[in-house]
Amino acid sequence: MKSYELKNLNITNSVFLLTSPIIAILGTLLWLYVDGFSWEILGLAFVFYILTGMGITAGYHRLFAHRAYKANSIMKVLYLIFGGCALQNSALKWCNDHRVHHGKVDTEEDPYNINEGFFYAHMGWILLQENIEDYRYSKDLLKDPLVMLQHRFYLPMIVVFGFLLPAIIGHVFFDSFLGGLFVAGFLRVVVVHHATFFINSLCHMVGNRPYDKEQTARDSWLMAFFTFGEGYHNFHHTFQADYRNGIKAYHFDPTKWLIKSLSYIGFTSGLRVTREEVILEKKIRAGLKDIENQTTFTDKVNERVENLKDELNQILEELQVQSRDNKDKLVARLDEMMSEIKGLSLQLELVHA
Ligand SMILES: [Zn+2]
Ligand SMILES: [Zn+2]
């Protein structure tokens, strides 16, 4: 377990992370006392919550860290400004940490290793983070002038856009400087912090693992609801280059919807999507492995599992050479196989219970 002794702490990070909730609460009380409650200020805070939260998920995460799509300069500037105002470091630093997280997930080298416990993965790692400027995983970003500009002017940028801007909007339009500063500024930062910190903590703890059971990342619609769609984290860790995290139309993934909508007006392009058969193959193999791990495994089930494995390999081979029409039929067959595997799993669980 990590030790949170004073000598180990990153003082700047710790002071900000621990005092910002206090400033947010006291400031909000001051706003209520001096200016009184107003829905407009709450609305302003919500707009900044969406802008900065999505700046992280659509911008920092899916664009800059994973290159899951391309964006024009207007979007890149907006992502860098508002993602920056979520106060989670410059894009360069954030993406570098995140790429290490994917490459070394669940190991000692994972910056937010969940095996160190919920608190460490959630925010403890930020309290203990050393100030090392080693960007070996982000050579592409070091060459990006906009990313480097944001890195250089990060501090003045967050003061101006993260705090002064909402305060001025609050003052000019809603007659409340305090509401803009403390509710749309500080309180909003604290809420966005914890919403996105959940991705590193609870998204590695809550939910199931349909694609890869070897690592801790999990899929959960509930977590997706709190994290702008990033809760389909097992899918994301398995197919990190995909611009989507929730792949079904009904999956709650507002980050995916934003990226897709922007593609219709040419602001985003080259959206990377994993082929359906590749996704189904992963799911089928994970499902079969699950059945094989059951203690109530019988000869009959064993035979069926072997047959399904053979059929899967055969279909994958055929998919390489087939025309589009036949491909659709084969993919539909993979879908059926997945349903059968789910049924088999359920039966075994019932027997086991
Ligand atoms: Zn990621
Ligand atoms: Zn993760």
Is residue 136 classed as helix, strand or coil in its secondary structure? Answer: coil
pLDDT confidence of residue 132? 78
Return left, alpha or beta for 133; rule: phi > 0 is left, psi -120 to 50 is alpha, else beta: beta
Distance 99 CA to ligand 1 centre (A): 7
Which pLDDT score, from 0 to 100, does residue 297 have? 66
Give the ligand at the shortest distance from the Cα of 239.
Answer: 1
Q: Three-state DSSP class for 68?
A: coil
Q: Which ligand is nearest to the CA of 112?
A: 2
**Minimum-distance ligand to the CA of 201?**
2
Give 193-237 pLDDT, tens digit per residue. Answer: 999 999 999 999 999 999 999 999 999 999 999 899 999 999 999
Mention every residue, 6+ apart, whose C-beta is less than 8 A from residue 261. Answer: none
Confidence category of residue 247, pLDDT binned at 50, 70, 90: very high
Does the pTM surpass 0.85? The reply is yes
**Backbone phi, then psi, for 130, in 5-degree steps?**
-85, 150
User: Rounded to whole angstroms, how far apart are CA atoms 194 and 188?
Assistant: 10
pLDDT reported for residue 114: 96
Residue 98, Cβ neighbours under 10 Å: how many? 22
Q: Please give the distance, rounded to the nearest whole angstrom, from the Cα atom of residue 162 to the centre of ligand 2.
A: 26
The ligand placed nearest to the CA atom of residue 242 is: 1
- Centre of ligand 1 to C-alpha 289, Å, is 25
Give Cα separations from 179 to 16, 27, 29, 172, 174 (angstroms). Answer: 20, 8, 10, 12, 9
- In the reported structure, the alpha carbon of residue 32 is separated from the centroid of ligand 2 by a whole-number distance in angstroms of 38
Ligand 2 centroid – CA 204 distance (Å): 6
**Alpha-carbon 64 to chain mean position:** 13
pLDDT in the model for residue 222:
92
Q: How far is the CA of 61 from the centre of ligand 1 (A)?
A: 6
Distance 233 CA to ligand 2 centre (A): 6
- Ligand 2: distance of its center to the CA of 143 in Å? 26
* Cα distance between residue 126 and residue 128, in whole Å: 5
pLDDT category at 353 given cuts 50, 70, 90 is low
CA of 340 to the centre of ligand 1 (A): 31
**pLDDT value, residue 351:** 65
Residue 31: which pLDDT band, with cuts at 50, 70 and 90?
A: very high
Stretch 288-309: mean pLDDT: 80
H-assigned helices in 5-124: 11-34, 39-54, 73-84, 91-103, 118-119
Residues lining ion ligand 2 (Cβ < 5 A) are: 217
The rounded distance, in Å, linking the Cα atoms of 196 and 25 is 20
Range from 59-73, 148-162, 271-285, 316-330 carrying the lowest mean pLDDT: 316-330
Return the domain boundaries, the chain: 6-269, 276-352
350 has a pLDDT exceeding 70: no
How many angstroms does the Cα of residue 230 sit away from the middle of ligand 2? 9
The mean predicted confidence, pLDDT, of the chain is 92
Q: What distance in angstroms lies between residue 102's CA and the mean position of ligand 1's atoms?
A: 7
Q: What is the 84 CA–ligand 1 centroid distance (Å)? A: 17
- For 248-270, how does the pLDDT look when each residue is reduced to its tens digit (9 = 90+)? 999 999 999 999 999 999 999 99
The Å distance, Cα 103 to ligand 2 centre, comes to 10
Task: Give distance in angstroms: CA of 304 to centre of ligand 1.
Answer: 36
Nearest in space to 248 (alpha carbons), one of 352, 335, 344: 335
Contact 24, 148 (CB under 8 A): no
Minimum-distance ligand to the CA of 114?
2
d(CA 98, ligand 1 centre) in Å:
6
pLDDT in tens, 81-115: 999 999 999 999 999 999 999 999 999 999 999 99
